[in-house]
Amino acid sequence: MDHHNKNNILALFYQETTGQNQQKFMQHIQQCESCQEYLDTLKKTESLLNEWTDEIPLTDSFDAIMQNISPIAIRPKQLPPDFSFRPIIHIAFALAFIVISIYLAQTKISLLPFWQSLKDWWLVQAFGGFGIVIILFFCIGTFITLALTPILFLKTRQFNNAISY
């Protein structure tokens, strides 16, 4: 069973998922034996814990427990997400789109009347028409990215929480 499914079952079991995600994953569990087994184990563990009756602790038991705990307790980590090619394909498409846009923008800009006067400017001389448009795109892109950062951050968190099979 992959890591995603384990995390999803845990979320389902502790009722941390809602709506569409939950329904989708319930459908998956119905067809997947390893997920069913894992869910079964969780249920058994919980019923075992429920049967556990409270004991009245001895007066010095807290000190005794603390003495037995090692100073560096190992905390279980959240399992890493599985590798996906999808973001790479998105980036490749985005890059192709940007390059084509820059090329089209450059051909349009070079037709504008002010381009004639810009052509003699030292920056244009140094970088060429294509270079100048690329620099322009970078400046605009930086501003857009800064403006979108809070949204992108939220999207990334949603993406990480989304269920994939």
Near Zn ion in 29-48, by CB under 5 A? 32, 35
Determine the interface stretch with Zn ion among 5-13, 57-65, 124-132, 148-156 (rule: CB under 5 A).
5-13
Q: What amino acid occupies position 138?
A: F
CB 33 to Zn ion: min, Å:
8
Q: Which residue, judged by CB position, is nearest to Zn ion in the bound state? A: 32
Q: Tell me if 9 contacts Zn ion by CB under 5 A.
A: no
Determine the interface stretch with Zn ion among 2-10, 73-81, 96-104, 105-113 (rule: CB under 5 A).
2-10
Q: Tell me if 12 contacts Zn ion by CB under 5 A.
A: no
**Cβ-based neighbours of 134, under 8 Å, separated by 6 or more:** 102, 127
Task: Please say whether the beta carbons of 164 and 23 come within 8 A.
Answer: no
8: tokens are: 């999803």
158: tokens are: 């949603």
The per-residue DSSP string of 47-93 comes to HHHHHPPP-PPPTTHHHHHHHHS-SSPPPPPPPPPPP-SHHHHHHHH
Q: Tell me if 105 contacts Zn ion by CB under 5 A.
A: no
CB 159 to Zn ion: min, Å:
20
By beta-carbon proximity to Zn ion, the closer residue of 30 and 116 is 30
By beta-carbon proximity to Zn ion, the closer residue of 5 and 106 is 5
Nearest to residue 55, comparing CAs of 46, 45, 40, 65? Answer: 65
By beta-carbon proximity to Zn ion, the closer residue of 136 and 163 is 163
CB 31 to Zn ion: min, Å:
8
Rounded Cα distance between 62 and 85, Å, is 51
Q: Tell me if 5 contacts Zn ion by CB under 5 A.
A: yes
Residue numbers at the binding site for Zn ion (CB under 5 A): 5, 32, 35
